[in-house]
């Protein structure tokens, strides 16, 4: 009887020891798993909210533009093609534009264009509406249209500026190129500063 009691005590102590060892191993494994999870954070992803907050801070912009083949140059060529009067037009136009993004897809602004015809200044002032139909942080695609006034030959005439398609790269300083028409030129490129 004494031997049976000793044997039962031995078996119980072995079972208890194994149970304690298994719980300890499981706890250690769980702790290591938590530590490993905490020590390897997921890569940070820029949320849409962060981009929207950044966009809110930079809704104003100014642009400096160089364009080629403005409308007044073409009109001058056609008007005086049959006459002996020589009035060489400047095939380059220089423009300044201000814009305010009312919404990420919509911008309202004003353009001022300058060129010369026969050494006389030609200045146009054109309000415009611009649609940024793709507006990402570092890339935008857009079109715009505007109607205003050009001051030429001691008179004022209706003038339009149009961009059929434009591409913009960068932020907050962007490079852009576009094709269109009007006093800004048939082809134009420039720098835009957002603030």
Asked whether 192 and 96 are in contact (CB, 8 A), the reply is: no
The shares of helix, strand and coil residues in the chain, as percent rounded to the nearest 5, are 30, 50, 20
Is the pTM higher than 0.85? no
Query: What is residue 8's predicted lDDT score, i.e. its pLDDT?
Result: 47
Distance CA 19, CA 75 (A): 97
pLDDT at 129 over 70: yes
Average pLDDT for residues 127-156, to the nearest whole number? 94
Distance CA 56, CA 38 (A): 34
Give me the half-sphere count of Cα atoms (radius 13 Å) on the Cβ side of residue 29.
6
Distance CA 86, CA 192 (A): 37
From the list 180, 181, 173, 182, the residue with the least C-alpha distance to 63 is: 173
Average pLDDT for residues 167-186, to the nearest whole number? 96
Distance CA 28, CA 89 (A): 84
**61-99: per-residue pLDDT in tens?**
999 999 999 998 888 887 766 666 666 678 999 999 999
Percentage of residues in the chain having pLDDT higher than 70: 66
Chain-centre distance for alpha carbon 177: 13
Distance CA 185, CA 195 (A): 26
pLDDT at 25 over 50: no
């Amino acid at each position: 009887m004494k031997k049976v009691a000793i044997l039962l005590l031995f078996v119980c102590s072995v079972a208890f020891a194994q149970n304690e060892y298994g719980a300890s191993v499981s706890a250690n494994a769980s702790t290591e798993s938590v530590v490993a999870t905490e020590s390897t954070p997921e890569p940070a992803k820029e949320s849409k909210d962060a981009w929207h907050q950044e966009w809110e801070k930079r809704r104003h912009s100014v642009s400096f533009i160089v364009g080629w083949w403005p409308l007044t140059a073409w009109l001058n060529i056609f008007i005086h093609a049959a006459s002996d009067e020589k009035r060489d037009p400047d095939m380059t136009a220089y423009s300044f534009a201000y814009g305010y993004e009312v919404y990420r897809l919509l911008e309202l602004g004003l353009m001022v264009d300058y060129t010369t015809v026969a050494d006389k200044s030609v200045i146009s002032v054109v309000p415009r509406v611009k649609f940024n139909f793709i507006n990402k942080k570092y890339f935008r695609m857009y079109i715009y249209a505007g109607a205003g006034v050009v001051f030429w030959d001691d008179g004022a005439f209706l003038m339009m500026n149009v961009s059929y398609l434009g591409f913009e790269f960068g932020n907050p300083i962007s490079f852009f190129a576009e094709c269109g028409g009007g006093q800004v030129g048939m082809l134009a490129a420039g720098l835009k500063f957002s603030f």
